[in-house]
Protein backbone atom coordinates (compact mmCIF):
# COMPACT_ATOMS: atom_id res chain seq x y z
CA UNK A 1 0.00 0.00 0.00
CA UNK A 2 2.75 2.46 0.92
CA UNK A 3 4.73 1.58 -2.18
CA UNK A 4 1.75 2.27 -4.44
CA UNK A 5 1.23 5.60 -2.71
CA UNK A 6 4.90 6.48 -3.08
CA UNK A 7 4.86 5.50 -6.77
CA UNK A 8 1.81 7.65 -7.38
CA UNK A 9 3.47 10.52 -5.57
CA UNK A 10 6.64 10.30 -7.69
CA UNK A 11 4.62 10.08 -10.90
CA UNK A 12 2.60 13.09 -9.78
CA UNK A 13 5.83 15.01 -9.03
CA UNK A 14 7.24 14.21 -12.47
CA UNK A 15 4.07 15.29 -14.23
CA UNK A 16 3.84 18.44 -12.11
CA UNK A 17 7.41 19.46 -12.91
CA UNK A 18 6.97 18.80 -16.63
CA UNK A 19 3.74 20.82 -16.72
CA UNK A 20 5.42 23.63 -14.78
CA UNK A 21 8.42 23.57 -17.12
CA UNK A 22 6.29 23.63 -20.27
CA UNK A 23 4.11 26.38 -18.80
CA UNK A 24 7.21 28.40 -17.92
CA UNK A 25 8.45 28.11 -21.50
CA UNK A 26 5.06 29.14 -22.89
CA UNK A 27 4.37 32.05 -20.53
CA UNK A 28 7.65 33.69 -19.49
CA UNK A 29 9.54 35.73 -22.05
CA UNK A 30 13.34 35.49 -21.98
CA UNK A 31 13.84 39.20 -21.31
CA UNK A 32 16.09 39.12 -18.26
CA UNK A 33 18.70 37.00 -16.57
CA UNK A 34 16.15 35.96 -13.93
CA UNK A 35 14.00 34.27 -16.57
CA UNK A 36 17.04 32.33 -17.83
CA UNK A 37 17.93 31.26 -14.29
CA UNK A 38 14.36 30.13 -13.73
CA UNK A 39 14.45 28.17 -16.98
CA UNK A 40 17.65 26.34 -16.10
CA UNK A 41 16.51 25.68 -12.53
CA UNK A 42 13.19 24.22 -13.68
CA UNK A 43 14.98 22.21 -16.37
CA UNK A 44 17.39 20.78 -13.80
CA UNK A 45 14.61 19.85 -11.41
CA UNK A 46 12.51 18.32 -14.16
CA UNK A 47 15.36 16.20 -15.46
CA UNK A 48 16.36 15.26 -11.91
CA UNK A 49 12.92 13.96 -10.94
CA UNK A 50 12.54 12.20 -14.28
CA UNK A 51 15.90 10.41 -14.26
CA UNK A 52 16.07 9.75 -10.51
CA UNK A 53 13.97 6.62 -10.79
CA UNK A 54 16.12 5.15 -13.57
CA UNK A 55 19.65 6.15 -12.52
CA UNK A 56 21.55 6.76 -9.33
CA UNK A 57 21.63 10.31 -7.98
CA UNK A 58 25.26 10.86 -8.98
CA UNK A 59 24.67 9.72 -12.56
CA UNK A 60 21.53 11.85 -12.69
CA UNK A 61 23.52 14.91 -11.61
CA UNK A 62 26.14 14.19 -14.29
CA UNK A 63 23.39 14.04 -16.94
CA UNK A 64 21.93 17.32 -15.68
CA UNK A 65 25.28 19.11 -15.68
CA UNK A 66 26.17 17.94 -19.19
CA UNK A 67 22.76 18.89 -20.62
CA UNK A 68 22.76 22.32 -18.98
CA UNK A 69 26.36 23.02 -20.05
CA UNK A 70 25.50 22.13 -23.63
CA UNK A 71 22.44 24.40 -23.57
CA UNK A 72 24.50 27.23 -22.04
CA UNK A 73 27.08 26.83 -24.81
CA UNK A 74 24.27 27.01 -27.36
CA UNK A 75 22.79 30.08 -25.69
CA UNK A 76 26.08 31.99 -25.72
CA UNK A 77 26.95 30.78 -29.26
CA UNK A 78 29.97 28.82 -28.01
CA UNK A 79 28.73 25.52 -29.36
CA UNK A 80 31.17 24.13 -31.87
CA UNK A 81 32.44 20.68 -32.70
CA UNK A 82 35.39 20.90 -30.28
CA UNK A 83 33.26 21.86 -27.27
CA UNK A 84 30.71 19.20 -28.16
CA UNK A 85 33.39 16.51 -28.41
CA UNK A 86 34.92 17.63 -25.09
CA UNK A 87 31.52 17.50 -23.36
CA UNK A 88 30.83 14.05 -24.78
CA UNK A 89 34.28 12.90 -23.65
CA UNK A 90 33.73 14.21 -20.13
CA UNK A 91 30.30 12.59 -20.05
CA UNK A 92 31.63 9.20 -21.19
CA UNK A 93 34.46 9.41 -18.65
CA UNK A 94 32.04 10.08 -15.79
CA UNK A 95 29.68 7.34 -16.97
CA UNK A 96 32.49 4.77 -17.03
CA UNK A 97 33.86 5.95 -13.69
CA UNK A 98 30.52 5.79 -11.88
CA UNK A 99 29.51 2.54 -13.56
CA UNK A 100 32.61 0.78 -12.24
CA UNK A 101 32.17 1.97 -8.66
What are the pLDDT digits (tens) for 30-56?
888 888 898 999 999 999 988 888 888
Instruction: Quote the pTM value.
Output: 0.81
Mean pLDDT computed over 72-79: 90
Neighbours of 14 (CB within 10 A): 16
> Rounded CA gap, 29 and 63, in Å?
26
Q: Within 13 Å of residue 71, how many CA atoms lie on the same side as its CB? A: 13
- Burial class for 66, CB neighbours closer than 10 Å (0-12, 13-18, 19+): middle
The region of weakest confidence among 1-5, 24-28, 73-77, 80-84 is: 1-5
Amino acid sequence: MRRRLRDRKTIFNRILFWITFIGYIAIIEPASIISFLGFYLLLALTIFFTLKSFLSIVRTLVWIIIIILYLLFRQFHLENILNTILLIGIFITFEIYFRES
